[in-house]
Amino acid sequence: RTKYLGEAKGEGSLTLRTSIIGRELGTAHSLVEWFLSNRGGKVKGFQHAIYSGFPTIVMADIIADLIERHKDLSGLYHVSSEPINKYELLRLMREAYRVEIEIEPETEFRIDRSLDSQKFRAATGFTPDTWPQMIERMAADPTPYEEWRRESVS
């Protein structure tokens, strides 16, 4: 109900439902920062926790493309990548960030948070990149997150 109440309605309004992962500037609470803060340690990777969002750097480009090429698009759209489980997502992040973190497969926890973006894809011609491509792109971001985080604590 709260999602519905916060969604813009009417001609010229565009609401995108999605999920994002990415680096943080001031804290370390997100999935990515939590994972990277466990360097040299061990984490659980949920094999039945399904996710279909995007790295923030990729979502920014999707929004820029909508502004530039789909100015007349309006309505409510789910925007999703191909579903991936959190275990595989963490493995890709470990590889892309080149960190030593043991990922223990966990099979009991089950949740599917994936979205169906067929309507969005049909309206825009959007095709998501693969997860390896998106995670590599996120890891290649030259923004000095750790430096900024240290400065914000000082």
CATH number at residue 70: 3.40.50.720
Domain count, the chain: 1
pLDDT for residue 5: 59
Range list of β-strands (E), the chain = 14-17, 20-21, 42-51, 54-55, 75-78, 84-85, 102-112
Give the residue numbers spanning the domain of 99. Answer: 2-141
Is 47 within a domain?
Answer: yes
Residue carrying the six token digits 């973006």: 117
CA distance 70 to 42: 44
- Please, which residues bridge with residue 50 across strands? 85, 112
Is 71 within a domain?
Answer: yes
Is 95 within a domain?
Answer: yes
Q: Are 87 and 131 in contact (CB under 8 A)?
A: no
pLDDT 10s digit of each residue in the chain, 154 long?
Answer: 566 656 667 778 999 999 999 999 877 789 999 999 999 999 999 999 999 999 999 999 999 999 999 999 999 999 999 999 999 999 999 999 999 999 999 999 999 999 999 999 999 999 999 999 999 999 999 999 888 888 877 6
Is 152 within a domain?
Answer: no
Is 58 within a domain?
Answer: yes
Q: Are 152 and 26 in contact (CB under 8 A)?
A: yes
Residue 1, both tokens: 């109900």
pLDDT for residue 151: 82
Is 154 within a domain?
Answer: no
Count helices and strands in the chain by DSSP H and E runs:
7, 7
CA distance 80 to 18: 6
DSSP state of 11: T
Give, for 139, the enclosing helix (H) or strand (E).
Answer: helix 131-140
